[in-house]
Amino acid sequence: MKTLTGAEIVIECLKEQKVDTVFGYPGGSILNIYDALYKHQDEINHILTAHEQGAAHAADGYSRATGKVGVCMATSGPGATNLVTGIATAYMDSIPMVAITCNVALPLLGRDSFQEIDITGVTMPITKYNFIVKDITKLADTIRRAFAIAQTGRPGPVLVDITKDVTAASFDYEYKEPKPIVRQEDTITEEDLETALTMIRKSQKPYIFVGGGAIIAGAEEELSSFAHKIQAPVADSLMGKGAYDGTDELYTGMVGMHGTKTSNLGITECDLLIVIGARFSDRVVGKASKFARNAKILQFDVDPAEINKNIKTHASVVGDVKSILRKLNVRLDPINHEEWVAHIERLKDMYPMRYEKSILTGPFIIEKIYEVTGGDAVIATEVGQHQMWAAQYYQYKYPRSFITSGGLGTMGYGLGAAMGAKMGVKDKVVINIAGDGCFRMNFNEIATATRYNIPIIQIVLNNHVLGMVRQWQTLFYGKRYSHTELNDQVDFVKIAEGMGAKAYRVTSKEEFEPVLREAIALNVPVVIDCQIHCDDKVFPMVSPGAPIEEVFDAEDLKI
């Protein structure tokens, strides 16, 4: 046992939790922690981002790529509030993250002091839990609890706010080994398993719908065994990409608003929909009353609050989905559904993904990235058309290889997340796909990438419009393009070069592959500005609020 300042206790607790990288931005209230961090810079790597929001997104991306808890730091007031969008992004996608902020000293709380904000009050709806530490005797145990809560059950972000006087005070510290995170199995009942087994065995046309919960649980091997054992096609949500091998013959693509026709029609026709770690987002189900209307629905999820929340289920098993699948696989004999699988294969042949092949487009760029990287890269995205193309045209073979904001849909997320991911998986090629609208929001983080030589590749699908909003304006708003055109004088190549990155502009299909290969070989921060047409659209598509079987594409619009 030794006597340390509160700031030093924070650092020692981070070391206890095996934290190797922290993303943040200093300020007055958190200076004591940054001073302590200075003394431990050989043990904990700190990345100074250009903006606190970038720090939160980087911690989130680090967590998604590694499965570890991401950590970010900020000072009081505006420093803390600048983390809010990143915390909310992590909350919506169940990402384990600990955000550490410092507030004004205890005597100044509640007095509208300089740079004071009630950050625990602000973040209460968007954290799994949050704390304000006003007593140094509770500091170490609070941080330990924060890490445990962030990882237990359904993960999520936890915020720890510490008053400045606590970081300056002294108290006894004793090292404690973190307790292992135990999978939630006590809620998995024999009765629920037997019901699930009966439904699976009776089904003639089963379909598996997998979400991000399967990735969080590390259930990819059990999921693959399960799908092949019961011979069921597999579709995924945006967050479920990589939970099931995208090159496997049973895989049918994403489901929902921009899902494949095969997945949308197949789920509509199936007699049993097995939902694994997915929450029935509105972008997935479309018109809820018509979703999988011919099927019984069997849901596996660690969070009981998700059962019957958006879609009424016929049965469920609550608990860690890896454990659920392992228990089911042991009891299941192989089931033959060859006729059903053959029907789904015919749908695949009838409704392939299609795009204009003669010019440089988003889908062409995504397919070329897949070809050049062999499907072995980590792909991050911003939010919009480019995000959907990245989900549709890159075949994700592995979990934690697709880093994107699903629930909150955060423009400006991907660049920070890509940097965080690269810090966590240094041996992987990490590419962020952005639209020009998203890139504008946080492109200042290119300066962070060059400062630390974080060799990410930033690809901008530059159509000079807010592409997804324009697509809706074209289809549903009579082509009234209200404030979605970005025809100005901004030059992304010059901006990137001004921040110290290597930059290219690509205007044709032929130019893209050699530029991408050179960018990978350089192993430095690179920006590739790809000029595409403003009216390229994401298809297939389901109109908002329509049943998912009413999916259409460009060919259907010609009729």
**pLDDT tens readout for residues 230-257:** 999 999 999 999 999 999 999 999 999 9
164: annotated active-site residue? yes
pLDDT beyond 90 at 557: no
From 68, 128, 164, 348, active-site residue? 164
The number of CA neighbours under 13 Å toward the Cβ of 468 is 18
Phi-psi region at 558: left, alpha or beta (left = phi > 0; alpha = psi -120 to 50): alpha
114: annotated active-site residue? yes
231: annotated active-site residue? no
| pLDDT given for residue 209 in this prediction | 98
d(CA 240, CA 243): 6
Mean pLDDT of 318-332: 98
d(CA 539, CA 354): 8
d(CA 549, CA 265): 5
Closest CA to 522 of 415, 429, 425: 429
Mean pLDDT of 178-190: 96
367: annotated active-site residue? no
d(CA 144, CA 176): 9
Phi, psi of 68 (to 5 degrees): -85, 175
From 16, 115, 428, 531, active-site residue? 115
pLDDT digits (tens, 9 = 90+) for 12-56: 999 999 999 999 999 999 999 999 999 999 999 999 999 999 999
Cα angle at 153 between 194 and 62, to 5 degrees?
130
From 18, 114, 124, 185, active-site residue? 114
pLDDT beyond 70 at 427: yes
Question: With bands split at pLDDT 50, 70 and 90, how would you rate the model's confidence at 166?
Answer: very high
The mean pLDDT value of the chain amounts to 97
pTM of the model: 0.97
- Domains of the chain listed by start with CATH number: 2-173 (3.40.50.970), 190-350 (3.40.50.1220), 362-538 (3.40.50.970)
pLDDT beyond 80 at 559: no
Beta strand residue intervals within 401-456, DSSP E? 402-403, 430-435
Cα angle at 242 between 240 and 247, to 5 degrees?
125
Q: Residue 467: in which H helix or E strand, if any?
A: helix 467-476
Prior bond to 455 cis, omega within 30?
Answer: no
Neighbours of 211 (CB within 10 A): 28
468: annotated active-site residue? yes
pLDDT beyond 70 at 342: yes
CA 96 to chain centre: 11
Mean pLDDT of 210-231: 98
pLDDT beyond 90 at 490: yes
> 3-class SS at 301?
strand
CB 109 within 8 A of CB 70: no
Cβ neighbors of 30 (< 8 A, separation 6 or more) are 73, 74, 75, 76, 79, 100, 101, 102, 164, 167
Question: With bands split at pLDDT 50, 70 and 90, how would you rate the model's confidence at 121?
Answer: very high
Mean pLDDT of 204-212: 98
Cβ neighbors of 16 (< 8 A, separation 6 or more) are 144, 175, 176, 177, 178
Q: Look at the chain and count its residues.
A: 559
- For tokens 């403003």, the residue is 534
Helix 220-230 to helix 321-331 angle, to the nearest 10 degrees?
A: 40
From 468, 473, 499, 512, active-site residue? 468
